[in-house]
Amino acid sequence: MYREAVTARETKDEVTKYHHLTAALYFGIAFLEAYFNDRMRAKLNREKKTEDKVYQVLRKTTFKDKLEKWPKLTTGKGLNITNEAKEIVSFANDIRGNLTHPKTRGHHIYEQLEKIDAEKFISAVAQYCVRFCEALDEVFPYWILGWNYRNPSHEDFSLILINNQQFLFSLQALGFDNPAADVGWAEAWKRQNMGSFEGYMNIDKTLKHLGHCEPRQLTKYQPVLCRRWWDPEHIATCGGLDRKKSYLLERR
């Protein structure tokens, strides 16, 4: 979703823009449904429901009901989602449905697609995920910010999933003021800064002001946190410099 939304925003060709924006909608809505399905599956498994029963619940519940009803069923709380985020996700899902099952002729659906703001769509999707974590008193996963770890090899690279503790070391290397090496302080920092949507927006805003990715400080095979992990030209130089400019995230 993140990659396609960024590419859609940067491209100048209208046809290519529609292609990537459409892909962003598909990935974003699919992520939300998969994420909510996973949360509900965990609840049903704890209740010892059969796999057939789990499948029926996941398969037959509408996307709208999953977003509106499942949070309270799984966490005992509603999610504090803004009206704007609800409207953006609902609008995007309607467009996605019309693209999959077109019911009109002409370019009407593409006129609707043009109204989607890629940045706001990313934020709306992230809000559902982060608010879910917040309701369960969990910290959100670092990858919801759109950055990924590249795992270099001798010939190529792949993406690698790393834990939030390593993410703190990466933030420190990027200039954030956080106590990555102190386990107690690190846990408190994560709770303070990665336990709410406000914390998400704070980190997201700071990362967007960075002009570089995590500097590689150990070896050329060190996994590095990268903001443009899909871009071959960017990857060729990513992590090669140790930038010392500090971008501080205020510790509250």
List pLDDT tens digits, range 103-113. 666 566 777 77
Average pLDDT over residues 138-166: 86
Quick check: 201 pLDDT over 50? yes
Asked if residue 180 belongs to a domain, the reply is yes
- What is the tens place of the pLDDT at every residue in 127-147? 999 999 999 999 999 999 999
Quick check: 198 pLDDT over 50? yes
pTM (2 decimals)?
A: 0.86
Q: Same structural domain for residues 119 and 68?
A: yes
Q: Same structural domain for residues 50 and 129?
A: yes
Asked if residue 245 belongs to a domain, the reply is no
Q: Same structural domain for residues 8 and 127?
A: yes
Which range of residues forms the domain containing residue 61?
2-135
- Number of folded domains that form the chain: 2
Asked if residue 121 belongs to a domain, the reply is yes
Which pLDDT band holds residue 20 (cuts at 50, 70, 90)? very high
CA distances to 44, 67, 132, 218 from 73, in Å? 10, 11, 12, 46
Rounded mean pLDDT of the chain? Answer: 87
Q: Same structural domain for residues 125 and 19?
A: yes
Q: Same structural domain for residues 173 and 83?
A: no
Q: Same structural domain for residues 147 and 127?
A: no
Quick check: 246 pLDDT over 60? no
